[in-house]
Amino acid sequence: MNASLKAVPASLLLFFIAGLCEIGGGYLVWMWLRHDMSWLLGAAGGLVLFLYGIVPTFQKTHFHRIYAAYGGVFIVMSILWGWWIDGTAPDTYDVVGTVIAVIGVLIIFYVPRKGESTWK
């Protein structure tokens, strides 16, 4: 197995952790402001969102590719969060849009470019 393929599981784990931080932190802020819960939830959400800013720096490629690909990962995780946490099942358009986003992630992040290694 080449070095690029070995790096895929680690990059997927980092995307997952970043997604949990962003969606989880945003959800805590949402609960504080939209559902009149304790400001401590909002503060905790702010801290988790700060951690989200740190996690992507561990990815081993260019900033723009990480954040562009993360947009697709965010879509997937948001749809799943809504389904599992809020109880709102995705409809056909959610699923189709999510599949398109995943294809975009695969192209943007995992297709090697001529003249550069996939991960620095």
Range of the structural domain that residue 59 is part of: 3-110
Looking from the CA of 100 toward its CB, the CA atoms found within 13 Å total 6
Residue 42 falls within a domain, yes or no?
yes
| Number of compact structural domains in the chain | 1
Q: What is the pLDDT of residue 1?
A: 42
Q: Please, what is the end-to-end C-alpha distance for the chain in angstroms?
A: 17
What value does the mean pLDDT of the chain take?
90
Residue 94 falls within a domain, yes or no?
yes
State pLDDT tens for residues 6-40.
Answer: 788 999 899 999 999 999 999 999 999 999 999 99
Residue 119 falls within a domain, yes or no?
no
Residue 93 falls within a domain, yes or no?
yes
Residue 115 falls within a domain, yes or no?
no
Residue 120 falls within a domain, yes or no?
no
Residue 74 falls within a domain, yes or no?
yes
Rounded distance between C-alpha atoms, residue 112 and residue 90, angstroms: 32
- Of residues 42 and 6, the one with the higher pLDDT is 42
Residue 117 falls within a domain, yes or no?
no
